[in-house]
Structure 1
Amino acid sequence: MQRDVGANLELEVTEASELVFSVAIAAGVPREREHLSVTLDEEPVETEELEDEHGTRLHRVVARPGTLVLDYSATVVGRAEPAPASAAELVRYRRPSRYAESDALVPTAAAEFAGITDPAELLASVSSWVGTHLAYVSGSSLPTDGAMRTLLARQGVCRDFAHLTVALLRARNVPARLVSVYAPGLDPMDFHAVAEAHIDDAWYVVDATTLAPRRTLVRIATGRDAADTAFLTTISGAVTLGRMTVTAIADALPDDDVTELVPLG
């Protein structure tokens, strides 16, 4: 499968700022072509690439006031090789985190999923439960909303669905984490967030929104929750996002069965 992905962001930097972008596909994803450029008032800006233990590639930029434009594109061919999970990761991804308050959701998870012992069935059940209990409503949540607030509101966007999925799985002692992805087939097109759960010695995608075929997804960033996977982080200074365009096209859009175990490639 070939997938062409990209992002174009335009920001107004109103104070000298330190920015971190997470828009490049993760290290280890096979790519045929890749381009990244950052300009400030149409002049090239130096970027520093930083890579974490999951292959997330962060691009750090220090910018004075002006109009900053980031342009990224890549062609992905084939699928990434699965990476084994360390013992430390499996502990980290069973703990509560800022946006996935699994400790507060233990009673809910026990009431809804206590009788399910098969790991694959649990993933499918949690995905279906979240998908049927939440309504996907654009603009319905705040950037600071976590799984508990999402459950109470009964609505949200992809990151909210993913946070609730992650929290419920952790509450059932399943290591789970958040992944930001390019998602061919998504409509309207945007950056997308999904959950990833570890069972049977492998990581599998869980996407309660069912908005894009899981086999088409391309990994960008991986972490505990949205705090680790945001496409833009303003470390210092002040910026305003003026325009953002995301593209993700695949040469085929396969059917997706929520009960099937699908690794993220």
Structure 2
Amino acid sequence: MFNFIKLFFLNLTQKRFFSFLFVWFANKELGYITSLSIRFFVWFYKINIFESKNNNISNYKTFNDFFIRSLDKKFRPVDFNNNILTFPSDGIINQIGRINKDQIFQAKDNFYSLESLLAGNSELSYMFYKGSFINIHLSPGDCHRIYMPYQGLLKKIIYVPSNFDIFNKFSSNNTPNLFTNNERIICVFETNFGSIVHIFIGSAFIRSIKTIWLDKITSFSNKTIRTWHWNENKEFANLFKGQEIGYFNIGSTIINLFPSNKVKFLENFKVGSRTKFGSAMCYLLDDKYK
């Protein structure tokens, strides 16, 4: 009962009033107040500002400008080994492992289905039956830009409108279908080892997710599932490993899906491990590794 009450008020306050208030503040040019807030934020989350392309806090006009800062890639060298897939972002691993038939482990006794995560698309879900997945949480202190883990051709984007729930350990343990209840953007890529899916999942403070293809495609009012199809002749259809594909307003969650028996995660990574964009995440299960 206590957990239910705690979860109710956590979502009520942060998802409604504080969420709107924060979005207003984050996009407002407030001069010295903005700079002071960013400095406090850097201190509180122990952010290494010198890893950013722009490491002068005074140059950020709004709080959100700082949230979507770009990394200086000399601090995140990309592993270009053709047999390696790299992490798509900085963050912390929420969950990692194999998909149990069509069920993905969330936390404790909670699972969610591939089909519900992929907006009811049974054909797409079947492609990842018994596959593998990784769920990476971006905390407020992480860089919020997302990158390609492997070279691929964008085939489809699906926008799924829904809720804006809180993402943290407590909500993950106590909210069934947490990731399938939230607004998300599903990007489907074709690679030389099969299809992969890259999912941006919004949370309470997320009011826009920008991609290089469609700019900001989320909103407060849009309640319709939308689909865009791409081919190799469209701009930014062919992407290489390490190429930026979008960013969140502030920290949220990324989920990657891989086909069955195609990749193997490096053994030193587990739930709670830190991730760094560009570093090795998993390798291809080709004849060299079998």
TM more than 0.5: no
Instruction: Decide which structure has greater strand share.
Output: 1
TM-score (norm 1): 0.28
Q: Which has the higher contact order (CA 8 A, sep 6+)?
A: 1
TM-score (norm 2): 0.27
